[in-house]
Each structure stands twice: as structure tokens, then as C-alpha cells.
Structure 1
Amino acid sequence: MDVDRDAELERQEEFLDSEEVFRRNACTIIEEMLELNNDPTEHTTFLVDEVLHCIFFLGNINKPIITPEEIVNDEEMLNCLKRIFPRAFRLFSSQLPKRDPFSCVLDMIVHLTGESNEDQIIEQLRNLNTQLARGEENHLVPSVICVSQNTQRRGSARHYGLSMSTSGKTPGQIMVAASCFSAWDSDVADAVMTYYPNKQKKPYFDGRINLPKYVRCEAFNLYDRSPKAPCKSCGDLFGLATTETKGWAHGNCAEVGSVSNLFKNEEEVQVQAQSQSDTVTKPENRKRVRERVRNHLKMLLKEKNFSWDNKFYPDIVFNL
């Protein structure tokens, strides 16, 4: 009987409840970002501010709500963060994040490490992942990294993206919509909105992208660094060859952020890859698809009792 009791206690420790997983992982990410932001000459403090706001927002729409005070339960550290980052504490309950928290972590690591040091970047992210708590819901844990690169140019820059680090359907859909309106390259956002939110292609809008063959778009599992084939949804969005029949909700995969960063920095690739459909260039179609996404986003926020002021953090006002 003692053996059975010990096994049950071990099982309970391994599968923490959802609230504790969120709190632990949020605290770990914040501490990591503060540690990385230890050189004032690097000008990365804005990324700490952004990650705080995003984590507090996700805690605020969690069920049950997880407050900043519950996440940062060290009073001295909490008061220090409130003093340095007052806007993140003031606006997490009214403004939407532009992207999920691990995208900020990725930007921090890429900036400090250098985009060419691919192995080191992946290893740093893997090391952080191993510190995160696991449970039935793996809050704030990305599982895949993608690297995109223009192989036609020797020594071309690498552009990174991570799978969405939210847990649950509603937070994921909220963050995908927010990223479409505020963070992702407009062509990538068009591709995602072609399918958002129900994975069904819209008959009146076709923003699908066809990446040139010379573009490297390669994903890896962050747990064991094994190659990760594109899912069906990534085939839909980017024309990537794949035999996978399962597709995640469009916008959740690491390829989306990676291709978005590629397009923002490689205009030649963007022009060659963007949708050729005339449905994308018609203003009435673009307005219609954006209204569809906005209305779904507002419905999700209403379900979470979140009163949105139509602004994204930091400092973007939403307009159709």
C-alpha cells in the first residue's frame, strides 16, 4: 500500500494543476528575461515590459484568474517591477498583447546571441524549456522552433519563429487574431486570416503564400531537436510540401512567426511569395475578412469578460 501511495504522490507532483503550472512557468520566464536584460547597453528592457504585459494578460483571462501578485509572489521583486514597468501592470486588463510571451523571449535571445548562431539559440531555448513545469495543460510552453532563410544569398540572415506558447483553444485564438492585426507581416496575416478561426478556407479571400523553392523553412522539436515536418496547415499557408494529414489551427505553428520575420527583412522573397489572387487586392474583401476576424476576437474577449480598449500593447491603435 505504501508503494501505491508513493506512486500516487509522485503522479500528483508530475501533473500539477493548471493554475500552478501557469504561475510557475510565468515566474520562470520573467526571471529569465530579467537575467538576460542585465546589460543596459543592449536596450532590451522593452522586451521585458512586453513579456510582463502579455503574461499578466494571459493570467487575467485564465480560469481562474491569476493575478500579477500571484505570479510574482516575492513582495520586494513585485514592487520593483511595478516601479520599473508601471504600464504593464496598469494596461494588462484593457489592452491586448501583440504576440505571445515566448516570442519576446526569442527576440531577446536572438538579439543577444546573434541570428547566425542557430545552434546556440536553439540550445538556449531548449534549456529554458527544461525548466518549465508540465501538467495536463502546458501553459507558456512552446514545442517547436522554425528557421527561415533565403538560400540564394550566401551568408543570408536566419529568421526564427516559435509555436504558440498558449494553452487552450480560446487563448490561442485570441493571440492569433492579435498577431494578425499587430505583429505579423501583412502577407502572412492575410494567409492566416484566409482560414481563421475555423480552419475553413474563405471563398471570398485567398491570401495563401507560395514560398519559393530556394527558401529554407525548417522546423525542429524543442524537446529533442528532431526535425519537424510541416503540418497540413503550414502546407495550406505557405505551399510547403508535406505528407502530414493533421493540421493545427492556422497561426499556431512556428513557421508563421519565422516566415513573418523573413518577409519583414527580405522584400525580394516577400514579393515573389505573396498571393497572386485578385481577392486579396479588393478593398471590400480585405475589409470583410478583417471584420470577420475582429468580430470573432471580440466575441472571445467578451466570453472572458475582458473589456478591450481597441489598443495593442505597446502603443498600437486598432483600425479596420
Structure 2
Amino acid sequence: MQGYKLENIDCFCFQYTRCDTGQCKFQHRQSCKESSEICLDWFRHRRCRNQMCSRKHLNHEVMLAYFLCRAEKTENHCKQLNCLMYHEKARQFIEYGTIPPNSVPMVPAVRRRKMVDCVKREVPQVQNFIKSGNHFLKMVRPFIAKSVRERKLSQDKGKAYFKEILHTVLFYGSINWPSIEPEEMLEQREFQLLSSKYPDVFQQYNTHLPTRPPYTVLLDVVVEIMGRNEEEKVLKCLLSLTEQMVLPLTDDKSSKVGNVFVSTVINYCYFWDSDIKNEKTDNYFGASVSCKGRQQRQIMIDILCCQTWHKHISLAVCIGNMYKNQAVWFPPEVHSLAFNIIFNEESPPAPSATPDNQHVLTVVGSAGVQEPNSLEISRTPRQRASLIPRVPCERCLDMFPNINYHPNPEYHGHPYWEHGNCAECESLSQLLYANQLLAMRLQFYVQRTILSSPTEQIHLPHGLIGRKLRRLEDNLRSLGFNVGLFSFYDPSGIESTALERFQH
């Protein structure tokens, strides 16, 4: 399995019964036999150097992959009373009754760091997170309220959009390490105002999961205001808003834009239906997953896969992530354009001064792909944001190999992020949701070795989605989130009037 070394995984048989394998490739440690908890270092970093560690190097995902009983896997039931392997299901015997499933080590209840507020705020990463959330909300709220005031958004939609953004920002604070409470992120007056106007957000930010990152919601707002087929207006508006959210870097590990809630890649796609209607679909936009921290980013990607994205996009992400294998082939003439948001101290260059080694924005009109034009929001010195067209990364080519990418994928670097982080996933998901006939034309190419291998049998798509759910639960538990039955926040719930002060 990805990231796990066999010699650092505990032998399930040795830990719970006995190991009869002569040369077992897993480790046999007596020090953790009595433990029912997972080692946090091993769980988070896939390794633990402490040979006398008192907690197990086992979790549900590893037990399924390496120790699941073969009879239970192939025949759905094990008839061997003294079977030493892992059993996820109860076993029925006439003489001995029911033998319950094997227990699974759990992540220990994490005690959050109790830090004095002033000390906590002095940590550069925490300070940057607090400033980012506060500034993001301060920029978004008047923009939405102004759009409602000008009747570009309905009042109900404006409230729902802002509540969704606010909930996700507060949720990110609750899963941050160390956790950041709403009253720490928001200024006192803002906290009192918003908590009184949006009580459901403050009651559910640490019990209900969001369904998408806050920057993706902001992108959706801009697209609704500007129109799907006004791609230049959408990108210019989004670029202007993004520039207002830029913060000075507080440390070397901070985001390049200084704001951890801002995405750095924007994408839009469309389908040219030359076979049936001979017309172009609307444009569908997406942003990369903006989330600080490895576990936090995994949580957001798993939520998107399990709850938000079209099932075919989720399947492609799961197969790409687990097996680095091509899975989904789109019909011809699906086009995808991605852009990096670049921040400079100087204004973007004029179109004639564009460096030879940089691409420029390709504008798509009603007649297809037209001549390239550059996109800038301003040439004044105080404006520092520009869009640079971006070739697809290796992850996108894994998941969606036959899409018409602009620019063409002549080169790409090896990415450090996992499948599902890219903006292409969101935009292609929206394309499939809006065009069901296109979704029905997708083809799936999955290697037979994935579907049935000597060590495991994968049922698509539920088996892979089940793994995402288990990783989501494990990560949430390890960060101290209140995990019960997964509930997702609904921003259209309780009535509130927090935007009213901007509407007069």
C-alpha cells in the first residue's frame, strides 16, 4: 500500500493470536500486544522509529489490505473456527454460536494543546491562519452583499453562499493543529455580530462537515454573477478579489500568497458536441483544493470524493490515488484550460512584453478556440496578480488522459500533491452533472489486476469510496473532531440577516 513499509507494520496474527509463518515480512513486537490504540506517529507519517513503541502499527486500511481472511474475501464467509486472519464480519457456527468480528485498533483520543491565547497567536503558522480566515471573510462578505444589493444575486442565495463560506472557514479552524476557535479567528465585534445572526453556523462548525472549500464557493458566486460563458469577466473578477486577500508572508512555510484559503489554480472546461448538436456547452469552473496541512487536505479531498463530486470523477480520483492507473476516458472534444494565479511585486507585463517562456490566456468564444490574448487586471504598480496558463500535471494525465488540454501537455513536473487536489476535478464534475448524456458516454479502462489480485478484490466504485470514508474518519478522529454519523452542513437552513447592514 502507498506510503506503508511492510517492516514497519505489525503482524496482525502475532498481535492477536499467533503467527505460524516461518519468515514473516511484518514486525513482531511484544511491547504493544496489550494496546488497543494506534501509534499516532505511525498513523500520521507512515513510520515510527521507536522499536519499543507501546501502541500498534495497524489500522483498518492495513488490516483489510494484508490480513483479511481469504475465505471471507472470496466466499463472503469463513468456516474455519481457528482461523488466524482478520475477520471484518461475524462468523456463525452451530456448535459454538456467533464469533464477533475482530477488533480494530483506534486512534487515541487526542488531547488538544491548551495554549495561552497570547502565546498561541505568536506561533507564525497560527497567526497566518487567523489573519487569513479573518481577511478572507472581510473581503467576501461585502462583495456578496453588494451583489445582492445590485440584484445580481437573490438575497437567499447571497446568505446561503456566505454562510457556507463562514462554516467552512470555521471548520478549517477546528481541524487545524492546534485548533483555532471562532472567537480567536474573528475580531470581537465581528464574532458577536456573526454568531448572533448565524447561530446554526457556530453550532455546527465542529459537528457538521462542509461539502467544498471556501474558495470554490467564492468561484461559484462569481460565475453566477458574471455568467458561465463570460470566462474573461469571471477570471478578472476572481483575480481582483484574490488580490485583495493577499497577506504578507509570516514565515517561510506560509502559502505563496500569504492567505491559506486562496487557491492558486483556476480551471474551466467545456464540451464541443460535434456529433449530435454541433454546439459548445457552457463553461464549468473549478479551483484547486485550498487547505493548509497534509491531513486537512486529505480530509477535504475525501469529503469531495464521497459527497460532492460526480461519481465518475470520484472513481477516477480513487483509482489514480490508489493505483496511479488511467481509469476514465472522455469522449473527444472535451477541452480544459487551467491557470496559475501569480503574484508579483510589479504589475503584470503588457501583452507585447509577455516572455517567450510563458504561455498566455487562450480565450474561448462561440466559434471555438480563438487567438491567444493576455489577461491582466491592471497595469498600475499596486496591482500584483496575473494569470499564467498552466499545463496539466501528472495527476490530471493519470485520471483524464485524453482531454484536450490548453496548453498542450508537452512537459509537466512531478507533483507532490495527491490525486484530487487539482482544479480540473471540480470543473469536470460540474460538466458531468450538467450534461448527463456526456456522462453516459464515458468509458472506463481499469486493469484486471486491480479488480482481482491475489491479495485483495476491489468492488468498484463502493470499495474504493469505502476506503476514502475510513481515511476521512481516521483523520478527523486524530485531529479531535467530533465524529459520529457523518452530517453535512446545509447553508439554506435557519433564517439569518447578517448581510442586511450592507444592503442599505
TM-score computed with the length of structure 2 as normaliser: 0.54
Q: Which residue of 2 aligns with 1:318?
A: none
1:95 to 205, 208, 223: 208
Name the SS of the counterpart of 2:201 in structure 1: helix
Q: Is the 8 A contact 1:95 1:308 kept in 2?
A: no
CA gap 1:134/1:256 in 2 versus in 1, 3 angstroms: farther
Partner of residue 258 from structure 1, selected from 391, 406, 427? 427
2:319 to 194, 204, 209: 194
Tell me how far apart the structure 1 counterparts of residues 435 and 134 of structure 2 sit (CA, whole Å): 36
Q: 1:159 aligned to 2:284?
A: yes
2:67 paired residue number? none
Identical-residue share of aligned pairs (%) = 24
Query: Equivalent residue for 2:136?
Result: 29
- Secondary structure of the residue that 1:246 maps to in structure 2? coil
Structure 1 residues 313, 244: closer, same or farther in 2, change over 3 A? Answer: same
Moved more, 125-134 or 157-166: 125-134
Match status 1:314 vs 2:490: yes
C-alpha distance after superposition, 1:18-73 (max 9, x if no partner)? 22222222122212332132216522211111111111011111122221112211
The RMSD of aligned alpha carbons is 2.4
Q: Could you say which residue in structure 2 is the equivalent of 1:244? A: 412
- Which amino acid counterpart does residue 216 of structure 1 have in structure 2? H
Aligned CA distance change for structure 1 residues 261 and 110 (closer, same or farther; 3 Å) = same
Instruction: Output aligned runs, 1:1-320, within 5 Å.
Output: 17-38=124-145, 39=148, 42=154, 43-75=157-189, 77-130=190-243, 131-135=245-249, 136-138=253-255, 139-152=260-273, 153-154=278-279, 156-195=281-320, 199-201=321-323, 208-223=327-342, 224-239=386-401, 240=403, 242=409, 243-247=411-415, 248-275=417-444, 277=446, 284-309=459-484, 310-314=486-490
**Structure 1 alignment gaps of length 5 or more:** 1-15, 316-320
* Bigger-Rg structure (1/2): 2
Structure 1 CA distance, aligned partners of 2:204 and 2:140? 20
Aligned-partner Cα distance in 2 for 1:111–1:28: 23
Letter of the 2:482 counterpart: S
Once residues 187 and 30 of structure 1 are traced to their aligned partners in structure 2, the CA distance between those partners, rounded to angstroms, is 33
Deviates more, 1:169-178 or 1:31-40: 31-40
Q: Secondary structure of the residue that 2:488 maps to in structure 1?
A: strand
Name whichever structure is richer in helix by fraction. Answer: 1
1:99 Cα shift? 1.1
Structure possessing the higher relative contact order (Cα contacts under 8 Å, 6 or more residues apart): 1
Task: Answer whether contact 1:125 1:222 (CA < 8 A) is retained.
Answer: no
Report deviation, 1:189: 0.9
Report how many aligned residue pairs link the two structures.
292
Structure 2 residue runs of 5 or longer lacking an equivalent are 1-122, 343-385, 452-456, 492-504
